[in-house]
Protein backbone atom coordinates (compact mmCIF):
# COMPACT_ATOMS: atom_id res chain seq x y z
CA UNK A 1 0.00 0.00 0.00
CA UNK A 2 3.01 2.32 0.31
CA UNK A 3 3.22 2.14 -3.46
CA UNK A 4 -0.30 3.58 -3.69
CA UNK A 5 0.53 6.41 -1.29
CA UNK A 6 3.69 7.19 -3.24
CA UNK A 7 1.81 7.16 -6.56
CA UNK A 8 -0.90 9.45 -5.13
CA UNK A 9 1.73 11.89 -3.85
CA UNK A 10 3.56 11.81 -7.18
CA UNK A 11 0.30 12.29 -9.13
CA UNK A 12 -0.74 15.23 -6.92
CA UNK A 13 2.68 16.89 -7.10
CA UNK A 14 2.87 16.63 -10.89
CA UNK A 15 -0.72 17.84 -11.34
CA UNK A 16 -0.10 20.85 -9.06
CA UNK A 17 3.16 21.72 -10.80
CA UNK A 18 1.56 21.60 -14.27
CA UNK A 19 -1.36 23.74 -13.03
CA UNK A 20 1.11 26.38 -11.82
CA UNK A 21 3.04 26.44 -15.09
CA UNK A 22 0.11 26.03 -17.53
CA UNK A 23 -2.65 28.18 -16.03
CA UNK A 24 -4.99 28.05 -19.04
CA UNK A 25 -4.82 24.25 -19.50
CA UNK A 26 -8.29 22.62 -19.48
CA UNK A 27 -9.12 19.88 -16.93
CA UNK A 28 -9.30 17.02 -19.45
CA UNK A 29 -5.91 17.83 -20.99
CA UNK A 30 -4.41 18.16 -17.51
CA UNK A 31 -5.87 14.79 -16.47
CA UNK A 32 -4.58 13.09 -19.63
CA UNK A 33 -1.13 14.62 -19.22
CA UNK A 34 -0.77 13.62 -15.56
CA UNK A 35 -2.07 10.12 -16.33
CA UNK A 36 0.65 9.73 -18.97
CA UNK A 37 3.36 10.92 -16.59
CA UNK A 38 2.43 8.71 -13.62
CA UNK A 39 1.52 5.09 -13.03
CA UNK A 40 -1.27 5.79 -10.50
CA UNK A 41 -3.97 4.48 -12.85
CA UNK A 42 -2.12 1.19 -13.38
CA UNK A 43 -1.46 0.79 -9.65
CA UNK A 44 -5.11 1.44 -8.77
CA UNK A 45 -6.23 -0.96 -11.51
CA UNK A 46 -3.98 -3.65 -9.98
CA UNK A 47 -5.41 -2.94 -6.52
CA UNK A 48 -8.98 -3.26 -7.86
CA UNK A 49 -8.11 -6.50 -9.71
CA UNK A 50 -6.72 -7.86 -6.45
CA UNK A 51 -9.90 -6.81 -4.60
CA UNK A 52 -12.05 -8.50 -7.26
CA UNK A 53 -9.99 -11.68 -6.89
CA UNK A 54 -10.37 -11.57 -3.10
CA UNK A 55 -14.13 -11.01 -3.43
CA UNK A 56 -14.42 -13.98 -5.82
CA UNK A 57 -12.45 -16.15 -3.39
CA UNK A 58 -14.66 -15.00 -0.51
CA UNK A 59 -17.83 -15.79 -2.50
CA UNK A 60 -16.44 -19.22 -3.38
CA UNK A 61 -15.54 -19.89 0.23
CA UNK A 62 -19.00 -18.82 1.40
CA UNK A 63 -20.54 -21.32 -0.99
CA UNK A 64 -18.13 -24.02 0.07
CA UNK A 65 -18.75 -23.27 3.76
CA UNK A 66 -22.52 -23.58 3.18
CA UNK A 67 -21.97 -26.93 1.46
CA UNK A 68 -19.69 -28.13 4.24
CA UNK A 69 -22.11 -26.95 6.95
CA UNK A 70 -24.90 -28.87 5.23
CA UNK A 71 -22.64 -31.91 5.07
CA UNK A 72 -21.73 -31.49 8.74
CA UNK A 73 -25.43 -31.37 9.60
CA UNK A 74 -26.09 -34.55 7.63
CA UNK A 75 -23.17 -36.36 9.30
CA UNK A 76 -24.27 -35.23 12.77
CA UNK A 77 -27.85 -36.32 12.02
CA UNK A 78 -26.61 -39.71 10.75
CA UNK A 79 -24.51 -40.20 13.89
CA UNK A 80 -27.48 -39.34 16.12
CA UNK A 81 -29.71 -41.79 14.22
CA UNK A 82 -27.09 -44.54 14.56
CA UNK A 83 -26.77 -43.91 18.31
CA UNK A 84 -30.57 -43.97 18.60
CA UNK A 85 -30.69 -47.25 16.65
CA UNK A 86 -28.12 -48.84 18.97
CA UNK A 87 -29.92 -47.49 22.07
CA UNK A 88 -33.30 -48.79 20.88
CA UNK A 89 -31.84 -52.21 20.05
CA UNK A 90 -30.16 -52.44 23.46
CA UNK A 91 -33.42 -51.44 25.19
CA UNK A 92 -35.43 -53.95 23.16
CA UNK A 93 -33.04 -56.81 23.97
CA UNK A 94 -32.45 -55.70 27.57
CA UNK A 95 -28.71 -55.46 26.85
CA UNK A 96 -27.21 -53.20 29.56
CA UNK A 97 -23.58 -53.21 28.43
CA UNK A 98 -21.61 -53.85 25.25
CA UNK A 99 -17.83 -54.13 25.32
CA UNK A 100 -15.74 -53.85 22.15
CA UNK A 101 -11.95 -53.57 21.76
CA UNK A 102 -12.16 -49.81 21.09
CA UNK A 103 -15.16 -48.73 23.22
CA UNK A 104 -17.69 -49.70 25.87
CA UNK A 105 -21.37 -48.82 25.65
CA UNK A 106 -23.79 -48.98 28.54
CA UNK A 107 -27.36 -47.92 29.14
CA UNK A 108 -28.02 -45.76 32.16
CA UNK A 109 -30.89 -43.69 33.42
CA UNK A 110 -30.81 -40.18 31.96
CA UNK A 111 -31.56 -36.93 33.76
CA UNK A 112 -35.06 -35.48 33.55
CA UNK A 113 -35.53 -32.43 31.32
CA UNK A 114 -37.99 -29.56 31.58
CA UNK A 115 -41.41 -30.06 30.02
CA UNK A 116 -43.50 -26.90 29.77
CA UNK A 117 -47.16 -27.92 29.99
CA UNK A 118 -48.80 -24.46 30.18
CA UNK A 119 -46.54 -21.39 30.11
CA UNK A 120 -49.40 -19.12 31.27
CA UNK A 121 -49.37 -20.82 34.69
CA UNK A 122 -45.62 -20.33 35.25
CA UNK A 123 -44.95 -17.68 37.97
CA UNK A 124 -43.48 -14.33 36.85
CA UNK A 125 -40.24 -14.92 38.81
CA UNK A 126 -39.23 -17.59 36.28
CA UNK A 127 -39.55 -15.25 33.29
CA UNK A 128 -36.60 -13.19 32.09
CA UNK A 129 -37.44 -9.82 30.52
CA UNK A 130 -35.72 -9.08 27.20
CA UNK A 131 -33.93 -5.75 26.72
CA UNK A 132 -35.40 -3.32 24.19
CA UNK A 133 -33.72 -3.42 20.77
CA UNK A 134 -33.54 -0.56 18.30
CA UNK A 135 -35.25 -1.33 14.97
CA UNK A 136 -32.51 0.30 12.87
CA UNK A 137 -33.79 -0.77 9.44
CA UNK A 138 -37.31 0.44 10.21
CA UNK A 139 -35.97 3.81 11.43
CA UNK A 140 -33.77 4.19 8.34
CA UNK A 141 -36.68 3.43 6.02
CA UNK A 142 -38.89 6.02 7.77
CA UNK A 143 -36.17 8.69 7.61
CA UNK A 144 -35.59 8.00 3.91
CA UNK A 145 -39.35 8.47 3.33
CA UNK A 146 -38.99 11.94 4.86
CA UNK A 147 -40.34 11.33 8.36
CA UNK A 148 -38.97 13.46 11.19
CA UNK A 149 -38.16 11.23 14.17
CA UNK A 150 -36.73 12.77 17.37
CA UNK A 151 -33.29 11.52 18.36
CA UNK A 152 -32.24 10.23 14.94
CA UNK A 153 -31.26 11.59 11.57
CA UNK A 154 -29.51 10.59 8.36
CA UNK A 155 -25.74 10.93 8.23
CA UNK A 156 -23.86 12.55 5.37
CA UNK A 157 -23.38 10.07 2.54
CA UNK A 158 -19.81 8.81 2.15
CA UNK A 159 -18.37 8.26 -1.34
CA UNK A 160 -18.69 4.65 -2.44
CA UNK A 161 -16.37 2.86 -4.85
CA UNK A 162 -18.37 1.16 -7.60
CA UNK A 163 -16.60 -1.52 -9.67
CA UNK A 164 -18.30 -3.13 -12.67
CA UNK A 165 -16.61 -6.03 -14.39
CA UNK A 166 -17.41 -7.55 -17.78
The reported pLDDT for the residue numbered 118 is 93
The reported pLDDT for the residue numbered 112 is 86
The reported pLDDT for the residue numbered 79 is 95
Whether 27 has a pLDDT exceeding 60, the answer reads yes
Assess if residue 41 is contained within a domain: yes
The reported pLDDT for the residue numbered 81 is 96
Assess if residue 160 is contained within a domain: no
Assess if residue 115 is contained within a domain: no
Q: DSSP states of 65-128 as a string?
A: HHHHHHHHHHHHHHHHHHHHHHHHHHHHHT--EEEETTEEEE----------S-GGGS-GGG--
Whether 123 has a pLDDT exceeding 60, the answer reads yes
Domain span including residue 17: 2-108
Cα separation, 151 vs 157, whole angstroms: 19
For residue 1, give the nearest of 36, 44, 55, 52 by alpha carbon. Answer: 44
Assess if residue 149 is contained within a domain: no
- How many domains does the structure of the chain reveal? 1
Assess if residue 133 is contained within a domain: no
Secondary structure of residue 59 in the 3-state scheme: helix
What value does the mean pLDDT of the chain take? 91
Assess if residue 103 is contained within a domain: yes
What is the value of pTM for the model shown?
0.59
Backbone angles phi, psi at 105, to 5 degrees: -120, 135
Whether 43 has a pLDDT exceeding 80, the answer reads yes
pLDDT in tens, 59-112: 999 999 999 999 999 999 999 999 999 999 999 999 999 999 999 999 998 888
Assess if residue 56 is contained within a domain: yes
Sign of CA dihedral 74, 75, 77, 81: positive
The reported pLDDT for the residue numbered 110 is 87
Assess if residue 147 is contained within a domain: no
% the chain with pLDDT above 90: 63
The reported pLDDT for the residue numbered 113 is 87
Amino acid sequence: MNQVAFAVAQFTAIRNRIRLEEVDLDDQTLADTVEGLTDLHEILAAVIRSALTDEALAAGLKGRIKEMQARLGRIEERAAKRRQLARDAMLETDLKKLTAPDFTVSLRTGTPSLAVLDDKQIPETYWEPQPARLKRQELLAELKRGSAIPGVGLSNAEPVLSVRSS
